[in-house]
Amino acid sequence: RLDEFMRAELSIFAKQRPPQPLSFLDVIKASSCLEGLAQLVHQELPVRFARRLKHIEQVDKWEQIPELVDLHAMHIHSFRELRLSDPSKPAEYAEAILQIRQRHKRLPRLFAEAVKRIASINAAPSETEDEQSTHLELWAETFLRSRVASELLMSHFEACVKTAGFDEETKVGIIDMKCDPWQICESA
């Protein structure tokens, strides 16, 4: 029954709202307290994982590509773990995020291998080589954009958990509030 419920939730989350980039301002605002950041993570990550699952399923014959099958299973496991975690309990929630990050360390290698296999398996005879390449690049870019936002959220949350209770006035998680990237670029 829980599996059926999770599948239903996946479908709902994948259609929940149009894809939108994660704003640094939203992350900073939510970072004023660990509970607020946990709520943002809990709000954003399931949607991103669900969309990535549906994105994998858009690939023709994805079930025949072992790396996509592994990525799919990884994201289902992570989605489930996240949905069963309580963001109002920061220590417990942080442990779930750490486990997900550990699991996702294999993601870049699996993804790269999957893209190679997709290119060799799904060559559509009606498309030119350039069209096939463009289509694959767009698919990969969408997946990776979502992954970057997810990784940013998880690593920022992890850093905030580690620094909770310490008086580090210049940093909010992974963001150094006194760092001015524009100034650094001008100085270079």
pLDDT above 70 covers a percentage of the chain that reads: 84
Q: How far apart are alpha carbons 159 and 172 in whole angstroms? A: 8
Cα 188–Cα 25–Cα 146 angle in degrees, nearest 5? 85
Task: Count CB-CB contacts under 10 A for residue 135.
Answer: 14
Q: Which is it for the CA torsion 73, 76, 81, 87, positive or negative?
A: positive
Give mean pLDDT, residues 19-24.
73
**The pLDDT of residue 134 is above 70:** yes
Query: How far is the CA of 16 from the CAs of 9, 11, 12, 44, 58, in angstroms?
Result: 10, 9, 6, 11, 18
CA atoms within 13 A on the CB side of 17: 8
Model pTM greater than 0.85?
no
Give mean pLDDT, residues 173-180.
60
**The pLDDT of residue 166 is above 50:** no
pLDDT in tens, 34-73: 888 899 999 899 999 999 999 999 998 899 999 999 999 9
Task: Count CB-CB contacts under 10 A for residue 97.
Answer: 24
Which has the closest alpha carbon to 107: 56, 60, 59?
Answer: 56
Helices (H), 58-165: 66-83, 90-103, 107-121, 129-163
pLDDT of residue 126: 65
> Of 5-9, 29-33, 150-154, 159-163, which one has max mean pLDDT?
150-154
Q: Would you state the torsion angle of the CA atoms of residues 143, 149, 151, 157, taken in this order, to the nearest 10 degrees?
A: -160
pLDDT in tens, 86-119: 999 888 899 999 999 999 999 999 999 999 999 8
